[in-house]
């Protein structure tokens, strides 16, 4: 019998990679970047607070998380779960770069390696967020995992050969600079600390925090058979994460553009895609019904109208 499910065969990480044996090391660029932003946000932000700077933080954070991280980076670049004009794809991915996590290629590789590792029977604790919260925060925000035998990750030419994405990858930190200068010219240091430092800190820290909860606690509608790490839904974060918190659904249907699948699962990213579809700027929005059936997927609980007739776990 084949040891790998069909769904892993098209994965960018090449089959058979060892994702268990490795060591966690301090990663200076990631660590200093996050620390500098957090320092600017906490000290600079406290000293220069104004309601206009706070409003700038809220609006820009919501915008880059919704259009950039959720739509541009995750649902489009990584999963290609909907189609849109190329100029819009570039814009959305550029907004994703402004979140401050990484460049497009770096984020895609990190996402895919983690995704691949979580679907294996065993993987390093780093991939499963298995350690205590403080250790995991230190690992994910300041360190990197160096695998003993790093796997090959084949990124398709659509992304890897694209000059815009290569440029954004090389300059992802610098992309904050024009905005910092503009915010400084309009609102002084307060706008820089809140519009750049606090926004990047909230995006990067929030990404870790939700990632931690989404692999540790919460509601489950599905189980991915054979996977050492399962995803969980984190309902209280639906609006804050633009729908990315429905992570159990995402583990079950990674290629779906719709993350909030069931009643009451608010998904602002999906609402935005529907709005773009209505004005002709997005099409071929994939839902679980458009994806190949996964034999390894089991339903934990009956979901009316969705899994009638499917096997129960």
Name the site residues for Zn ion (rule: CB under 5 A).
Answer: 231
- The span from the CA of 2 to the CA of 20, in Å, is 21
Residue 243 and residue 268 in contact, taking contact as beta carbons nearer than 8 Å: yes
- The span from the CA of 130 to the CA of 118, in Å, is 11
- The span from the CA of 191 to the CA of 196, in Å, is 8
231/243 with CB nearer Zn ion: 231
Q: What is residue 172's three-state secondary structure? A: coil
- The span from the CA of 147 to the CA of 124, in Å, is 9
Q: Which residue is nearest to Zn ion (CB)?
A: 231
Q: Quote the tokens at residue 51.
A: 């309601």
Closest approach, Cβ 244 to Zn ion, in A, equals 9
190/231 with CB nearer Zn ion: 231
- The span from the CA of 307 to the CA of 84, in Å, is 30
Closest approach, Cβ 28 to Zn ion, in A, equals 26
Closest approach, Cβ 138 to Zn ion, in A, equals 20
Q: Quote the tokens at residue 98.
A: 């402004």
Closest approach, Cβ 18 to Zn ion, in A, equals 19
173/255 with CB nearer Zn ion: 255
41/153 with CB nearer Zn ion: 153
- The span from the CA of 217 to the CA of 213, in Å, is 5
Closest approach, Cβ 52 to Zn ion, in A, equals 35
Closest approach, Cβ 179 to Zn ion, in A, equals 27
Cα–Cα distance list, 131 to 134, 135, 213, 215, 278 (Å): 8, 6, 12, 11, 44
Closest approach, Cβ 266 to Zn ion, in A, equals 19
> Would strands 22-26 and 222-224 be described as parallel, antiparallel, or unpaired?
unpaired
φ and ψ of 304, to 5 deg? -55, 130
57/139 with CB nearer Zn ion: 139
Q: What is residue 18's three-state secondary structure? A: coil
179/235 with CB nearer Zn ion: 235
231/269 with CB nearer Zn ion: 231
């Amino acid at each position: 019998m084949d040891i790998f499910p069909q769904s892993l065969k098209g994965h960018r990480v090449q089959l058979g990679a060892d994702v268990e044996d490795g060591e966690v090391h301090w990663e200076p660029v990631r660590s200093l970047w996050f620390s500098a932003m957090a320092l600017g946000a906490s000290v600079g932000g406290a000293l220069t607070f104004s309601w206009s700077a706070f409003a700038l933080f809220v609006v820009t954070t919501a915008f880059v998380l919704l259009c950039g991280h959720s739509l541009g980076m995750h649902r489009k670049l990584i999963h290609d779960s909907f189609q849109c004009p190329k100029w819009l794809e570039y814009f959305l991915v550029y907004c994703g770069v402004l979140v401050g996590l990484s460049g497009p290629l770096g984020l895609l590789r990190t996402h895919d390696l983690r995704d691949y590792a979580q679907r294996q029977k065993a993987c390093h604790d780093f991939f499963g967020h298995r350690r205590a919260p403080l250790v995991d925060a230190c690992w994910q925000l300041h360190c990197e995992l160096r695998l003993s035998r790093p796997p090959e990750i084949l990124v398709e030419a659509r992304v890897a050969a694209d000059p815009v994405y290569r440029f954004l990858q090389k300059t992802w930190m610098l992309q904050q600079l024009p905005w910092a200068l503009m915010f400084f010219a309009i609102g002084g240091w307060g706008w820089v600390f809140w519009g750049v430092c606090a926004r990047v800190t909230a995006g990067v820290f929030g990404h870790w925090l939700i990632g931690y909860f989404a692999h540790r606690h919460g509601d489950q509608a599905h189980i991915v058979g054979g996977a050492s790490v399962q995803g969980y839904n984190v309902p209280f974060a639906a609006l804050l994460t633009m729908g990315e918190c429905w992570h159990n659904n995402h583990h079950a249907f990674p290629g779906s553009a719709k993350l909030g699948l069931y009643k009451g699962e608010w998904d602002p990213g999906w609402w935005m895609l529907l709005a773009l579809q209505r004005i002709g700027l997005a099409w071929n929005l994939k839902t679980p019904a458009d994806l190949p059936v996964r034999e390894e997927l089991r339903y934990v609980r009956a979901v009316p109208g969705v899994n009638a007739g499917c096997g129960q776990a």
